[in-house]
Amino acid sequence: MQALGSVPTVLLCMRHVTRQAVPIVPAWRQSLQQLLHHVQQLPPYRHPPRHLRTTTTATADDITTIGGASNGGDKDLGLDPVIGPQLTISRPLPRVLIIHTGGTLGMDPEKSFQAHPETGKAELAPGTGGIYSGGLRPGTMLRNLLKVVPELSAFANIELQVAFNLDSSRVGPDEWVALAKLLDSNRRNYDAFVVAHGTDTMAYTASALSLMLAGFGKPIVLTGSQLPLLLPRSDARQNLVDSVCAAVDSPPHNRLQEVAVCFGGKLLRGNRAQKVDSSSYQAFASPSYPELAIMGVDIDWKPDKLLVVQTMYTPRLKLDSRVVRVPIAPGSNPRIGYGDLAGRGVRGIVLEAFGVGNMPDGDQHDWLPWLREQREAGLQVYLSSQCTRGALQPELYRSGSVALQMGIQAGPLMSPECAVVKLMLVLAHQDLRMGVPLAGEMTF
């Protein structure tokens, strides 16, 4: 940068930095980082124009020279005239679409909760499962959301759509398809997406979106809460803020390009997440894969754990829901417990065996003969494990070896939620295979 006239100046347009010209000290040639440090000590300017807001910390990479011997100022921006070349930071905030689907966030807190007669603590009214209001208006809901959580607008330009407003136990394949279509149609319009969802089936929905929208290439972060947003001590506020921050933040050497679950201070791969606690604020865990990030004072990213999209985006917006989970219990008889599944229209099962893929093989147990009959009737079987970690090796046991000879597919290991959804996808798309990864869902 060369001085063109009198004292050169630096002009910064940042949400947390005042919009004023700062003379460059005589040693301005020494270090741009030192100069930025000086500018960042200025007091905050509270209301810059929305299109100039940013929360990104200034670095040398953010600086662009816009030059010019003089500048008469900008009355619209409220800038004083400055002389000489300028440096400017003018990075628009990312556009984030929040998609509301229901869950605890969508409950009417006054109708859904009541005070415990002895402790006075708020508890879900027995027998209701929560009350969900119909006819939610996105504009009104967004205004209310930003009124309760105004800091969201500091990180992104927020828009909101209501996909549906349901208890998550009522969310299934039809809703997953609708949600995937909504995301697909808005993919080019937003930088990131946050899906507000009930906790009970969030892991299923996250798995479904990750597989149906494999290669999407933009952040899709699912979150929810254990208590409604308006109740005291609700975790909804922090989960929403964390989710938006994770969606728009840029981790080192990479960016979030996958479906994730953000809950209780952790960012997890969506198709590895599982709900492990019904009442704790840290309700989700990822037993088979490390966290993508820890949401602390700063976002502690784990860059080497992030999914790197290497395939072309190919949305697959069909599912065959005729799939059930079949856990094996010691002493159980499948003919009594399950009967003729194929004859009743079931097309696929996720068979949850013991350990590395073992199951009862004695004459009195009937599992292997039952499986053979079901396979001959056209039932697709994916052999999984009741363990949450480790490799599948059914060939190590007689029962597993016999199952493989029947054409049963075994592993690699997925979470039960993800395995069910993937089998639905595979049944609807004949070019897919259970053993071929789509979105980082498998443990090899």
Residue 164, pLDDT score: 92
State mean pLDDT over 257-265.
Answer: 98
Residue 95 C-alpha from the chain's centroid: 16
State mean pLDDT over 170-198.
Answer: 97
The pLDDT tens digits of the residues spanning 373-405 come to 999 999 999 999 999 999 899 999 999 999 999
Lowest mean per-residue pLDDT among 38-52, 216-230, 239-253, 378-392: 38-52
| 354 pLDDT more than 50 | yes
The residue count for the chain: 444
> Quick one: CA dihedral 278, 281, 287, 289, positive or negative?
positive
The pLDDT tens digits of the residues spanning 276-326 come to 999 999 999 999 999 999 999 999 999 999 999 988 999 999 999 999 999
Beta strand pairing call for 113-115 and 122-124: antiparallel
State the Cα–Cα distance between residues 220 and 217, nearest whole angstrom.
Answer: 9
The pLDDT tens digits of the residues spanning 355-373 come to 999 999 987 789 999 999 9
Residue 19, pLDDT score: 38
Confidence of residue 138 (pLDDT cuts 50, 70, 90): confident
Residues 6 or more apart whose CB falls under 8 angstroms from that of 376 comprise none
Which is more confidently placed, 12 or 114? 114
Which is more confidently placed, 90 or 212? 212
State the Cα–Cα distance between residues 208 and 201, nearest whole angstrom.
Answer: 11
State mean pLDDT over 178-200.
Answer: 97
* Six-digit token string for 252: 């080192």
The pLDDT tens digits of the residues spanning 46-69 come to 333 333 344 333 343 433 333 333
The pLDDT tens digits of the residues spanning 68-112 come to 333 444 444 444 544 555 555 556 899 999 999 998 876 666 666
State the Cα–Cα distance between residues 227 and 278, nearest whole angstrom.
Answer: 12
Q: What is the residue whose two structure tokens read 């994730």?
A: 260
Confidence of residue 414 (pLDDT cuts 50, 70, 90): very high
Residue 135, pLDDT score: 58
Q: What percent of the chain has pLDDT over 70?
A: 73
- The widest CA-to-CA distance across the chain, in whole angstroms, is 96
Residue 115, pLDDT score: 66
CA distances 269 to 53, 72, 313, 375, 394, Å, are 30, 51, 18, 33, 27
| Average pLDDT across the chain, whole number | 82
Confidence of residue 169 (pLDDT cuts 50, 70, 90): very high
Which is more confidently placed, 444 or 271? 271
- Residues 280-307: b if buried by 16+ CB within 10 A, e if exposed: ebebbbbebbebbbebeeebebeeebbb
- Mind spelling out the 3-state secondary structure of the chain? CCCCCCCCEEECCECCECCCEEECCCCCCCCHHHHHHHHCCCCCCCCCCHHHCCCCCCCHHHCEECCCCEECCCCCCCCCCEECCCEECCCCCCEEEEEEEECHHHECHHHHEEECCCCCCEEECCCCCCCECCCCCHHHHHHHHHHHCCCHHHHCEEEEEEEEEECHHHCCHHHHHHHHHHHHHHCCCCCEEEEECCCCCHHHHHHHHHHHCCCCCCCEEEECCCCCCCCCCCCHHHHHHHHHHHHHCCCCCCCCCCEEEEECCEEEEHHHCEECCCCCCCCEECCCCCCCEEECCCEEECHHHCCCCCCCCCCCCCCCCCEEEEECCCCCCHHHHCCCCHHHCCCEEEEEEECCCECCCCCCCCHHHHHHHHHHCCCEEEEEECCCCCCCCHHHCHHHHHHHHCCCEECCECCHHHHHHHHHHHHHCCCCCCCCCCCCCCEC
Q: What percent of the chain has pLDDT over 90?
A: 63
* Six-digit token string for 60: 């040398």
Which is more confidently placed, 49 or 150? 150
Residue 394, pLDDT score: 95
Strand-pair partners of 269:
260
Which is more confidently placed, 226 or 120? 226
State the Cα–Cα distance between residues 272 and 315, nearest whole angstrom.
Answer: 20
Which is more confidently placed, 33 or 158? 158
Q: What are the φ and ψ backbone dihedral angles of 47, each rounded to 5 degrees? A: -130, 70
Confidence of residue 406 (pLDDT cuts 50, 70, 90): very high
